[in-house]
Amino acid sequence: MSNSYQYIDPDYTYTDPKTGLLKNLHDISDSDVLLFVESSAVTKRLQELYENPIKIKGIDSLFEIHKHLFKDIYAWAGKKRTVEISKDGKQFFPTSHFDNAFRYIDSLIAEFKKTPKDNKKILTEKLVEILDNVNYLHPFREGNGRTQREFLRLLAFEKGLTLNLNPPDSRSVYERYMKGTIESDVQTLTDLIFELINTNDK
């Protein structure tokens, strides 16, 4: 997690005031241990979604994915954040307007579902629009990137497409993805996803 993230959480809703670490179900107080345990648990849960994919119905499915990925680590897995977050001085979507954002993203998902399976260009554009809005929403205290990448993978999967925004050996994909999401650079994200998306012939 980047040090450039800032959280307005004076009541220590999510963090231990002594260690500064996220409160977790294992009472881990060492940052390296927490990183390892979290990463291992999430990797296992991601594999489960590959084997038994859930159907994306709307924004609620994003919360279902987050809960599945992080339920072994955090009590608040699958729950919307109650604190404000900013990165590099830019604030993510304010919690007070979440409901409006949820309705808008649901409309984007509905548009994606209506798009013909064989129109790769339009499907890519719809996925980017969803990603850009979900990233700006940043609905969780932690785990937004991993959750939204899986969310997009599953949306593409429903159209008979494969989309891996987190390939293990591609620094370039990661850097382009981060540039696109952090800077809300829709063109970078469009080029990246169009390049990565493929027909699922399995």
CB 56 within 8 A of CB 158: yes
Residue 84: pLDDT above 70? yes
Beta bridge partners of 84: 8
Taking only the tens place, the pLDDT of each residue in 163-199 is 999 887 788 999 999 999 999 999 999 999 999 999 7
pTM, two decimal places: 0.94
CB 144 within 8 A of CB 79: no
Give the CA radius of gyration of the chain.
17
3-class DSSP state for residue 162?
Answer: strand
Closest to 41 measured CA to CA, from 161, 142, 136: 142
Across the range 58-86, mean pLDDT stands at: 98
Taking only the tens place, the pLDDT of each residue in 122-157 is 999 999 999 999 999 999 999 999 999 999 999 999
Query: Domains of the chain: which residue ranges?
Result: 5-199
CB 154 within 8 A of CB 65: yes
How far apart (Å, rounded) are the C-alpha atoms in residues 88 and 13? 22
Taking only the tens place, the pLDDT of each residue in 5-16 is 899 998 999 999
How far apart (Å, rounded) are the C-alpha atoms in residues 152 and 22? 26
Give the whole-number percent of the chain exceeding pLDDT 90. Answer: 89
Sign of CA dihedral 137, 140, 144, 146: negative
Torsion angles phi and psi, residue 90, rounded to 5? -100, 125
What the block records as the tokens of 81 is 């954040």
| CATH architecture assigned to 5-199 | Orthogonal Bundle (1.10)
Average pLDDT, the chain: 94
pLDDT of residue 202: 46
How far apart (Å, rounded) are the C-alpha atoms in residues 161 and 153? 8
pLDDT of residue 121: 96
CB 151 within 8 A of CB 61: yes
